[in-house]
Amino acid sequence: MVRRSKSAAPPVCRRRAFMVRRSRSLLAISGPMCGLTLAVVTYAGGPPSWVDDLSPIARGDWNDDRAAHLIERAGFGGTPEEIERLAAMTPPQAVDWLVDYEAIDNSILEPFDESRIWDPGMDPFPPSRAEAVRMGRERGEALGVNVLPEGSPRRLQPVVDKFFYGLRANSIETQRLGAWWANRMLTTTRPLEEKLTLFWHGHFATGDTKVRDYRMMRRQNEMLRANAAGTLRDLLVGILKDPAMLVYLDNGENVKKHPNENFGRELLELFTMGVGQYTERDVREAARAFTGWTNDVLAFKFDAGQHDFSDKTFLGRTGPFNGEDIIDAILEQPVT
């Protein structure tokens, strides 16, 4: 199903194909370090009798094929040994093993290894070239050139341009982060944990092309994993206070005098209730409730001076709501 290059893949990479479902197909993906190429393979699914059948599987009908199907749906496929171990359980035991994953030792996984190509001196990183120019002028230096103290043998000292070096450094680290996560999906002993993390990553979509800080993306990945099987409220609070999401949806620009509706609209339309379940006024009032929610590089920051503390009317209720009040009101709606 997956075509190998001529060079032998490392043992870890032979354990499991990383498969992401696209309709009724699977896209088999693995990084260059695994020596694999890309291949799209047709997924035939289970027998027709499985369609719309939610009745429990009897112990006598539980076998290797059904165990393989389960671990493929709840994870990224299994090795023959993993499938055999799952098939030896009863169906309830197999489900419990997948779902109650926190008790499973996952110490085999390595943490992300920082290359240190990102220079700590780049904080705060300019969000645009124009902002880099503005920062340079404020500090009394041209973009990419520092003026040395009088008496220096070299009055002008070329330095690395923060903006363009930062873009390149971040691009490299982001690629490494993606490869690290893909390898984690391949080697984890908690397949459902990574499958859920991937699901929430797709649902609460962000992108490094705008965030442009791999550290934010890494911390978001950790937050999604920590809350993957928890309550929806904890997950929503976590993602809406997440620096990567705050940057991605421009909430740093959402201030009392000039509310930015992007954050509130995405919350209502894409993350929770869906189109047609709220009014444009609800969007505007949600935006006001989230004013002042911003980030200080890698940390959430509530800027009280930019928050609108006055009453808002949201989903039929009125009060001096803040962001968490909006989340609670959304979660009380049957459509959510």
Collapsing DSSP to helix, strand or coil, 18 comes out as strand
Report DSSP letters for 209-257, one per residue. Answer: HHH--HHHHHHHHHHHHHHTTS-HHHHHHHHHT-HHHHHHTTGGG--SS
What is residue 117's predicted lDDT score, i.e. its pLDDT? 79
pLDDT of 243 over the 90 cut: yes
pLDDT tens column, 164-180:
777 888 899 999 999 99
What is residue 232's predicted lDDT score, i.e. its pLDDT? 96
Sign of the CA dihedral 325, 328, 330, 334? negative
What is residue 43's predicted lDDT score, i.e. its pLDDT? 42
Q: Which of the pair, 159 or 312, is modelled with greater confidence?
A: 312
Query: Closest Cα to residue 164, out of 133, 141, 206, 207?
Result: 133
DSSP 146: E
Contact yes or no for 18/182 (Cβ under 8 A): yes
Residues 1-28: what's their mean pLDDT?
38
Using pLDDT thresholds of 50, 70 and 90, give the confidence band for residue 13. very low
What is residue 57's predicted lDDT score, i.e. its pLDDT? 83
Chain CA centroid to CA 82, Å = 27
pLDDT of 24 over the 50 cut: no
Percent over 90 (pLDDT), the chain? 62
Residues 207-213: what's their mean pLDDT?
90
Contact yes or no for 145/156 (Cβ under 8 A): yes
pLDDT tens column, 273-296:
999 999 999 999 999 999 999 999
Contact yes or no for 132/143 (Cβ under 8 A): yes
41-45, 55-59, 244-248: which has the highest mean pLDDT? 244-248
pLDDT tens column, 58-69:
888 899 999 999
- Across all residues in the chain, what is the average pLDDT? 81
Using pLDDT thresholds of 50, 70 and 90, give the confidence band for residue 136. low
What is residue 316's predicted lDDT score, i.e. its pLDDT? 95
Report yes or no on whether pTM surpasses 0.85. Answer: no
pLDDT tens column, 59-115:
888 999 999 999 999 999 988 999 999 999 999 999 999 999 999 999 999 999 988
What residue segments make up the domains of the chain, in order of their start? Answer: 11-47+57-103, 120-230, 240-331
User: 293-296 and 39-42: which strand pairing?
Assistant: unpaired
